[in-house]
Structure 1
């Protein structure tokens, strides 16, 4: 006889495990199914371990410029094994923490590969291999195993995987995805990064800061394509200053593999071609949802461009089947997945909820300089028909930034000229991934320019740049 639950969540990534915990808090008998990682890609192979690597790169870069702070650091270097080991240790610690939280909230963990055989029923079989092609990951202590499980509500949170371009598929040796880029066996002296979204530029920064020669190739006219062009241009200048070569409007059309290097052919978009030889290439051209082999096709669940179509509350076109996180479409971010999952289970509970507003979801890139944004870019705001007031403030006018030795940065604010509504905020510079939440809260509270101008920001802090950018939009900036 099948084990019965109220809610089954397929996938234990940040969206899945948070959804399961919230469901249990609401009184639902809940289970979460995964084949490999508590915490998912984000915690084990994405958000968290990359931040650990980037922190090592940031400290190493600062050590090399100790003289600028009146300090002395000689004979600096790094141990690649220890850098990678620290990153993996951080992930292991947090993955264990997820297991503790699930147990604390009485969520059953089921270990294996899940298939929805019909509405309300999930069959689980043992995984045959890990995502990296090795042996399957053993189940955590206390996890249930293969079997048949039922629930009137099944929430799919199976995440996404790296996109592969035909003819340029990663091979795990010479052409990497983020998996291999996080655990290099040897440090490459040169690196070609294909794609300049958050993943691409974060790895480009890491490897350049640690000493590799790095080239980024981006098919679109600007790096960081989802960001405001002014912010992206500022970031590009900083990257180029640290020695990263950037080719925009260009694409990799072919790769010849050598014994321990690749030679890529680059189309410059203007009729010309060139070749770049590098020790390794990272393919960072986006991700695709893991929609296959779950049973969605047979159930008639609507799938569009490798993601599941939902209504803003996690509901699909098939009653009793829900989808949240990366598999439910962009932005493919952990914090979006978590919030989306909470909306989904609270809607199932019958609580008063609001559909997910994707315009209110901040995006962050954690290289140096950091990039963060929320809402509309200036161009998108104009396209939407808004009459605008735009403010800008550079970090060079901020006392804390200068004291930190981080004077290169910028904050840009975009307001509706008629209503004072904050339409978007875009930032580049030190710690902006921490600062952006101030603008996110302001947008969610429908704060106007008057509210922000009357708010007292502490001094000396980097947050004062936010205040000045608001003031600048209305001709009241003080320190510029």
Structure 2
């Protein structure tokens, strides 16, 4: 086996394996180094298995709403071990699929940990070890670091795998906690809160900011809070969580907020308070690679300060999204290959939260658009005025659009409701293609679909909607 390649990719997550596949398509010889499993956190412990869990919880919820649809069922129950087993099986299946794709693309894979080991002429050397033992030293003129990130640990809130869970424990519960505290209300925290509430747990969410889902438009954030509280969740914002006092099989704590103190005892705690980049033991010392707040600094083409070293995905900073990592992998490789990709525009990256109801957005919020100096036109359309949403029994939701009043540019789009994570791509294409309200207005949306709300929300920003 040759020890020299055109490209070495460190990390086999959604950024790394996609970069390796694209490089192979472009005729490069590629080595991919992965220490754990192909697909990274996203496929094995994040995006995919959590959606399997959420799907089960959605069905469980619907089973208790059968009367609304003229149906009935007796003795509704669930087997948590089978729900978790299905989720883990899907992750294994998808991981095997990636291994097959890499083999088919003739990507040389190494099982181990990689570390930059200086230069050999024009090439970077990468030392690979497994369980502390040397496996190989390979070299290439280009190295992409795609090592991902891990959950942040805060003093006093450290996960222990038993009573205080991180994402992995939250995805593989042996029994359903009757009482659950979720610390953090980003997408990860909200999705776990939604799963466990749908399955019957009493859920409390504690968020240090003054509202949940801080990355979303405030109006959507408020709508989400209203929906979650209607489902029975207790939400405390501007919250300070005191020390977590662990008992034999429960955790007690005090949560302070502007509304007072709450003494809380729960069976389990999920900490979802952000992530930190995996930048340790990569051999960055002595290179010009810069690290800021645990993330590698890159330019618009994923280049670091060290020629020939690149970083993509979570290790390169926010937004920490699998589709951002994959896209960075592609544009990085195409730039290496001498093509002319466009830099990734952060405001064209959609964000999705797969709770009930779902939340999706792209671009600027109304608040940020105004702060940036835009004169805006804002449109809103509620799901309750959409025929398909009514027929589905999914009337909780809305679409909000923010346009530049002068140019008609779509500055941002914000959605909450059923299937909005599937619909947001229409607005992403609008922004990527630099289209205006004129093209959206003239677009024919199929009827009956929930996507018609996107058309109506555009009309609402200008001449007015037709159906309210």
Whether 1:121 aligns to 2:125 is: yes
1:173 to 162, 175, 181: 162
Aligned 1:5-84 pairs, distance under 5 A: 5-84=5-84
CA distance in 1, matches of 2:117, 2:263: 50
Normalising by structure 2, what TM-score?
0.98
Which residue of structure 1 aligns with residue 327 of structure 2?
339
Shift of 1:275: 1.7
Shift of 1:274: 2.6
CA distance in 2, matches of 1:341, 1:2: 24
On the 8 A contact 1:35/1:127 being kept in 2, the answer is no
Which residue of structure 1 aligns with residue 373 of structure 2?
385
On the 8 A contact 1:222/1:232 being kept in 2, the answer is yes
Shift of 1:297: 2.9
Which residue of structure 1 aligns with residue 388 of structure 2?
400
1:211 to 200, 206, 210: 200
Aligned 1:101-112 pairs, distance under 5 A: 101-112=101-112
Shift of 1:124: 0.8
Normalising by structure 1, what TM-score?
0.95
Q: Secondary structure at the match of 1:14?
A: coil
Whether 1:250 aligns to 2:254 is: no
Which residue of structure 1 aligns with residue 417 of structure 2?
429
Which residue of structure 2 aligns with residue 324 of structure 1?
312
Aligned 1:212-361 pairs, distance under 5 A: 212-269=201-258, 272-361=260-349
CA distance in 1, matches of 2:381, 2:187: 23
Which residue of structure 2 aligns with residue 184 of structure 1?
173
CA distance in 1, matches of 2:51, 2:415: 19
CA distance in 1, matches of 2:210, 2:92: 39
CA distance in 1, matches of 2:305, 2:258: 41
Q: Secondary structure at the match of 1:201?
A: helix
2:406 to 411, 415, 418: 418
Whether 1:90 aligns to 2:90 is: yes
Deviations 1:439-472 (A, max 9, x none): 0001111111111111111100001000000000
**Equivalent residues, number:** 464
Q: Structure 1 unaligned segments of length 5 or more: list them.
A: 130-144
Q: Secondary structure at the match of 2:285?
A: helix
Shift of 1:165: 0.4
Q: Structure 2 unaligned segments of length 5 or more: list them.
A: none
Q: Secondary structure at the match of 1:296?
A: coil
Shift of 1:384: 0.5
